[in-house]
């Protein structure tokens, strides 16, 4: 074995050891079961990617196609794990599930039938699959990035930076490299890639030890509400939302609200999260919008639902229905009908 191949082998082992530490931390963490399962599956897929192609071959250990299949699942697992962490109120769109299912089926077929000869797969099949991988990686980065403005959980805001700068970027580079080389990655390029992956995994572990040693990724339940004496900003915030009907502004942003209250933005985020128990700004604003809409649905039975939705600050009837159902466990129309019947 050449020096460069030895270095690649060692870097793969070092990186895998860092990922296994993440697996252990996830398993014993207080995160929801779904989050832990997705995270462990993603981490094990990463370990499979790091070990199956080089380490197992070097020690002449036959493991079959399972590690390769798990490694192929990394991009969709990354997307769904990211969605679970950073999307509080919405489920992934149906078309994403369909693409992920088709991708897994095709990649499983290739893995079971082609084995190590993946580079011989027709470019007409290889290119769409690699582009699908790239799409999942870019989608994960987009999910993390787009929600940063409304996030009020301080630890998760820091976590967003880690994800965007490391995991999504790493998967994107790996996918592009595989696409360009057709799975025949030059040794020098592989050495640089493995060094980067080891650096990323080590950085993630160090970052969690410093910023989030409990490894809590998803907040469980609402924070304990503080009294007005403990946080006077709560009273001001409720007053401006109720009396001023600030929630009805379609373009309301947390920065605008902080400027109106003349407080630093980080202080407002902390108040909304720690004192009021919300995980993002939309949840907080939608609470007031839904309360106002519920009152008008009963007080104005002839007013169209769409009109009320737009008046209280929603941009569309679909977003209104989704938010209303999340809070009241029924659609606005059903709520109006049931309440009027009962009265």
Q: What is the secondary structure of 34-60 as a DSSP string?
A: HHHHHHHHHHHHHHHHHHHTTHHHHTT
CA dist list (Å): 233 to 238, 272, 280, 281: 9, 10, 17, 16
Report how far Cα 311 is from the mean position of its chain's Cα atoms: 31
Report pTM: 0.77
Distance between first and last Cα of the chain: 82
Distance CA 140, CA 153 (A): 19
Q: Structure tokens of 116?
A: 């190590």
Spatial CB neighbours of 321, under 8 Å, sequence gap ≥ 6: 331, 332
| CA gap 20, 24 in Å, rounded | 6
List beta partners, residue 280: 151
d(CA 189, CA 135): 22
Per-residue tens of pLDDT for the chain, all 343 residues: 578 888 888 888 898 899 898 888 888 888 888 889 998 999 888 888 888 755 555 555 455 556 677 888 888 998 999 899 888 777 898 999 999 999 999 888 877 776 555 555 555 677 788 788 888 988 988 888 888 888 888 777 877 777 766 776 777 777 777 767 766 778 888 888 888 888 888 888 887 777 777 777 765 444 444 454 567 888 888 888 888 788 998 888 999 999 999 999 989 998 898 888 888 899 999 999 999 999 999 999 889 999 999 999 998 998 899 889 988 889 999 999 888 776 5
pLDDT in the model for residue 245: 82
In angstroms, the Cα distances linking 139 to 47, 145, 167, 220, 305 are 22, 10, 12, 25, 33
Residue 296: the pLDDT is 92
Quick one: which of 40, 36, 46 has its CA closest to 200? 46
Q: How far apart are CA 292 and CA 14, in angstroms?
A: 56
* Sign of the four-CA dihedral 227, 232, 233, 238: positive
| Both tokens assigned to 262 | 């003349």
253 phi-psi bin (left φ>0, alpha ψ -120 to 50, beta other): beta
């Amino acid at each position: 074995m050449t020096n460069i191949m030895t270095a690649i082998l060692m870097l793969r082992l070092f990186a895998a050891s860092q990922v296994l530490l993440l697996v252990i931390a996830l398993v014993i963490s207080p995160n929801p079961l779904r989050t832990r399962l997705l995270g462990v599956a993603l981490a094990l897929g990463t370990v499979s990617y790091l070990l199956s192609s080089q380490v197992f071959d070097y020690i002449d250990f036959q493991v079959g196609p399972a590690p390769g299949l798990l490694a192929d699942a990394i991009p969709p697992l990354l997307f769904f794990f990211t969605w679970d962490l950073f999307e509080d109120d919405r489920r992934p769109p149906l078309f994403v599930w369909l693409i992920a299912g088709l991708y897994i089926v095709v990649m499983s077929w290739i893995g079971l039938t082609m084995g190590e000869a993946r580079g011989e797969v027709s470019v007409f099949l290889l290119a769409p699959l690699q582009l699908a991988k790239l799409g999942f990686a870019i989608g994960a980065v987009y999910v993390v990035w787009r929600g940063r403005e409304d996030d009020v959980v301080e630890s998760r805001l820091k976590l967003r930076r880690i994800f965007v700068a490391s995991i999504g970027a790493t998967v994107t580079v790996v996918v592009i490299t595989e696409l360009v080389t057709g799975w025949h990655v030059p040794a020098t390029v592989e050495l640089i890639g493995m060094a980067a992956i080891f650096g990323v995994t080590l950085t993630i572990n160090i970052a969690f030890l410093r910023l989030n040693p409990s490894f809590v990724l998803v907040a469980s339940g609402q924070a304990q509400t503080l009294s007005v004496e403990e946080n006077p900003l709560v009273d001001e915030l409720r007053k401006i939302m109720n009396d001023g009907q600030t929630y009805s502004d379609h373009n309301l942003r947390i920065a605008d609200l902080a400027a109106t209250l003349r407080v630093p933005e980080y202080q407002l985020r902390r108040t909304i999260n720690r004192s009021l128990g919300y995980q993002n700004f939309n949840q907080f604003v939608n609470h007031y919008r839904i309360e106002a809409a519920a009152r008008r649905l009963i007080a104005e039975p002839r007013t169209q639902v769409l009109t009320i939705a737009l008046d209280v600050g929603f941009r569309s009837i679909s977003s209104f229905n989704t938010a209303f159902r999340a809070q009241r466990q029924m659609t606005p129309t059903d709520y109006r009908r049931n309440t009027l019947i009962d009265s």
